[in-house]
Structure 1
Amino acid sequence: LISTEKGSRCAMPLVVCFLLALSTRSMASKTPVGFVGLGNMGSPMATNLLKNGYPVIATDVFPGSCKEIQDLGAHVVDSPADVADKSDRIITMLPSSPDVIDVFTGPSGILKKVKKGTLLIDSSTIDPAVSKEMSVAAEKMGAVFMDAPVSGGVGAASLAKLTFMVGGPEEEFNAAQELLSCMGANVVYCGQVGTGQAVKLCNNMLLAIGMIGTAETMNLGIRLGLDPKLLAKILNMSSGRCWSSDTYNPVPGVMEGVPSANNYQGGFVTTLMAKDLGLAQNTATSTKTPIPLGSLAHQIYRVMGSRGYANKDFSSVFQFLREEEGQ
């Protein structure tokens, strides 16, 4: 109790104690979050969890990838199984379907030590069928699996502005959203397990087609004598505007802070775009859906991978077209 000017007493300290209790309870809710996969996307995502006060238990197949997050305060362990042993909410961010299968069901996989009730959120971009398989395997162990692939690239991951497309039990969405909102600006429920992956594959197919179209358009304009910055400016105030032209332009010198301004380093590498387009192609084939432009985009990115562009950002398709033109 404290005294007022008139000598009476009030319960202001009780209010303070109550607020402190609420704060303590809020911090207590931030139990450790496991994170597997600390590549170009996973590292900034895990960092944003730390920034939001969540203790992070992390691992990666390449120990060197763990150093940065460890320096920021994360606890690094040796395997996905060790992550599962120390946390009951785990996020995975991995390159491909085989990687996801191994991380979850391999000899040192998550499901070897997963606790009942653990929430498993996979943000990799993989075959929707694999997400469904992992969901069944997790359910047998008493855990809940959700697919939550992302859109936005490395820049959005660093700024916590990713878009998450979430598939899984709707009653678990709020729990997933609590964590995903620390890493993204948009968290959208898409339906049951696999639907998040389906949306992501559709998005990336359109992204690849748009990037190739932007690269072709910019190259044609340059060949016609147009200044690329001027051309981009006009495109971005006209009906041809798209994300590849106004946010991630593939022409060096047009924009700052994008891979094309850094010799196409960083960002979303060609190999991964080819992988995603292959998944889209397989899904289209199985559903007998014609995707002529998606198929052509797949072929282009596969060829790029064999011509020295495998580890360059997918916007390097502009450079690839220019080199092809000179042959």
Structure 2
Amino acid sequence: MRTGFVGLGYIGKPMAQRLPAAGLETTVFDIAPAPVQELAGAGAKAAASPDEVAAASDVVGVCVQTDAQVRAVIAGDNGLLAGAEPGLVIAIHSTILPSSALAMNALAAKQGVLVMDACVSGNTRAADPMFKLYVGGEAEQVERIRPYLTAIAADRVIHAGPLGSGCKAKICLNLVTYLQWMAAFEGSALASATGLGIEMFERVGRSNGQLTDMMVAYLGTQKLPEPARKSEAYQAYVRTQMLNAEKDLACALDLAREAGVSLPGAALVSQLMARIYVVDDPKRR
């Protein structure tokens, strides 16, 4: 199987690295040259544009940030469809609206190209991110690209349902994550302000199971020394995370409006991500 990958950011790069490591022929592209060269040094082929990736691949993963960026990678000038042959499969790993995945598939189908959503989660700051993929598409389509999926996520591939189901699953999971962080943020803020302290708050929270693993991971960021949290490198990292969180919560609210569901908690937490991430941004308080 010939594989390709577009989008080699902090999530996409470690995903793409697993493809040549699994012995799969791999072609990659990113607008930044450094990660492309890094992948080339690990056995991948460097492409100058997404259409070159498509021309060299049977399945291409796309991991960029927004719905608009996904559309540009797939259908823009020099996009994947410009170089695609009939039979190509495009796996979207970005957290986007299900309607965007459906629209891209309808457009790609005119050229005999299949689009699937294969949304990803994993801790990229860990030595092993333990990627999980939530896949939308028909069962036979999932099996068709199984070698690609398992190269990235091993046995942690979940077929969530028809096209768009992977996006729905990831949006719902992200919503729960950010609500947990909000709870951990407020609990730790109160513990600190009253003299109990974050360490004791974590200890008692762990003792009765109230604090989930996700909450404990968040508390770890709160325990960093202030100089570390104020450093330029850390602020750049959390700012990126904050912007992704705001985008993900906007997806949740858009999907909720489409479904006729009220999500007041999501609406509130979406306005507080700068506080939760402790981002030094005077425009967000």
Letter in 2 for 1:219: A
Aligned to 2:7: 37
2:98 corresponds to: 128
Please give the alpha-carbon distance, in whole angstroms, between the structure 2 residues aligned to 1:231 and 1:149. Answer: 34
Letter of the 1:101 counterpart: R
Contact 2:26/2:44 (8 A) holds in 1: yes
Is 1:196 aligned with 2:169?
Answer: no
Counterparts of 1:54 and 1:105 in 2: how far apart (Å)?
25
Question: Contact 2:40–2:46 at 8 Å: present in 1 too?
Answer: yes
Q: Deviations over 1:263-297 (max 9, x none)?
A: 36647611011001011111111222010101111
Aligned to 1:275: 247
Question: Counterpart amino acid of 1:128?
Answer: P
Q: Deviations over 1:237-265 (max 9, x none)?
A: 3232223323343544379xxx9998366
Match 1:182 to one of 142, 145, 151: 151
Q: Distance in 2 between matches of 1:250 and 1:216?
A: 14
Identity of aligned residues (%): 25
CA RMSD of aligned residues (A): 2.6
Post-superposition CA distance 1:292-324 (Å, at most 9, x none)? 1011111223xx3xxxxxxxxxxx615359x99
Equivalent in the alignment of 2:141? 172
Aligned counterparts of 2:244 and 2:79: Cα–Cα separation in 1: 23
Q: What is the distance in 1 between the residues matched to 2:247 and 2:277?
A: 19
Q: 1:144 aligns with which of 86, 111, 114?
A: 114
Which string of whole-angstrom CA distances, capped at 9 and with x for unpartnered residues, describes residues 117-166 of structure 1? 1121110111110100111122211122110111223236x625111110
In 1, Cα distance between the equivalents of 2:220 and 2:266? 19
| Aligned AA (2:257) | T
1:221-247 CA-partner distances (Å, limit 9, x unpaired): 111212422321321232322233233
Give the gaps of 5 or more residues in structure 1: 1-30, 305-315
> Normalising by the residue count of structure 2, what TM-score does the alignment of the two structures yield?
0.88
Q: How far is 1:58 from its partner? A: 0.3
2:62 is matched with: 92
Q: In the aligned structure 2, how far is the partner of 1:63 from the partner of 1:150?
A: 23
Please say if residues 154 and 266 of structure 1, whose CA atoms lie closer than 8 Å, have aligned partners that are also in contact.
no
Q: Relative to 1, partners in 2 of residues 1:220 and 1:251: Cα closer, same or farther, differing over 3 Å?
A: farther
- Residue 224 of structure 1 aligns with which residue? 194
Q: Determine the structure 2 residue equivalent to 1:309.
A: none
Gaps of 5+ in 2: none
CA distance in 2, matches of 1:270, 1:118: 34
**1:263 alignment partner AA:** Y
Per-residue CA deviations over 1:187-226 (Å, capped at 9, x if unaligned) read 1011111111011111111111111111111111111212
TM-score (norm 1): 0.77
Distance 1:236-1:65 versus aligned 2 partners, 3 A rule = same
Query: Does 1:319 find its partner at 2:270?
Result: no
255, 259, 267: which is aligned to 1:295?
Answer: 267
Aligned-partner residue type, residue 170 of structure 1? A
Once residues 188 and 230 of structure 2 are traced to their aligned partners in structure 1, the CA distance between those partners, rounded to angstroms, is 13
Provide the rounded CA distance (Å) in 2 between the counterparts of 1:131 and 1:93: 13
